[in-house]
Amino acid sequence: MRKLFLELSFAALCTALLSACSSESGGSQERKNFSDSGSNDDGKSSDSEGISSSLEGNKSDNGSVYNADENTLTDLRDGQTYRIVKIDSQIWMAENLNYEVKSSWCYDNAPANCAKYGRLYTWAAAMDSVGTWSTNGKECGYNKTCSPTYPVRGVCPKGWHLPSIEEFFDELITVLGGSSTAGAKLKSATGWNDNGNGIDTYSFSSLPAGIRYSDGSFSSVGKNATYWSSSANDSVTAYNVALFDYNDGAGLGFSGKYSGISVRCLKD
């Protein structure tokens, strides 16, 4: 039933927004491989050793280093470096988050997929529902109604946050010309099935990372990219933005909070 629900929500979102959709654009970048893990929907972060002092944040959670000259973000919790991109007034990670916490997985449980696509997180893990890094998303999980204070840092590095659906849809998608064409501008130029590549206008380079269902199965790598927002729809679902191989659109939808999907962080 969860598979059907998730797929129906994806289909409904394009219909609701009257988005058509199809594409061509940009590329992936390999990152360090980290061991795979997964368990309950508690969003609890795994332990990480301090690496160095930070240009942002504080030493207690290791912070992050934002290099505007080189367009990179280094997460000092585990030392991984991500490309970043500025789109209008927003500064986004240009790769999916790959920070390992409980209730996050590599697609098909293969570490090579984490290196390529980043990890797939439950909503509780994305929101940091146990309050490891901040309290704004604490106790936001499955079968719970919460009213977080925005911005919600969630699982993101210090100085960055899990975007709200307004930041994602009302701001980013609007700047890109609206839901019917934004997907093509966000999708990478390679890696999508069925001639579904994008034009990657701003080097956001969205790759089709697929999803993980609550029963532990995986689906749709090569076919869709879905990103959690910090905005809940109700106690069991939360809003996301999804891109597909079969059209150029960017859809506003919602998924069950137990689903494993991607995270892109936005600079505070």
Q: Which of 37-41, 65-69, 96-100, 170-174 shows the lowest per-residue confidence on average (mean pLDDT)?
A: 37-41
User: How far does Cα 105 stand from its chain's mean position?
Assistant: 13
Tokens of 230: 């910090």
- What is the average per-residue pLDDT within 143-170? 95
3-class SS of residue 124: helix
Residues 6 or more apart in contact with residue 2 via CB below 8 angstroms? 213, 214, 215, 256, 258, 259
Total number of residues shown for the chain: 268
Check whether 252 has a pLDDT greater than 80.
yes
Segment 183-220, tens digit of pLDDT? 999 999 999 999 999 999 999 999 999 999 999 999 99
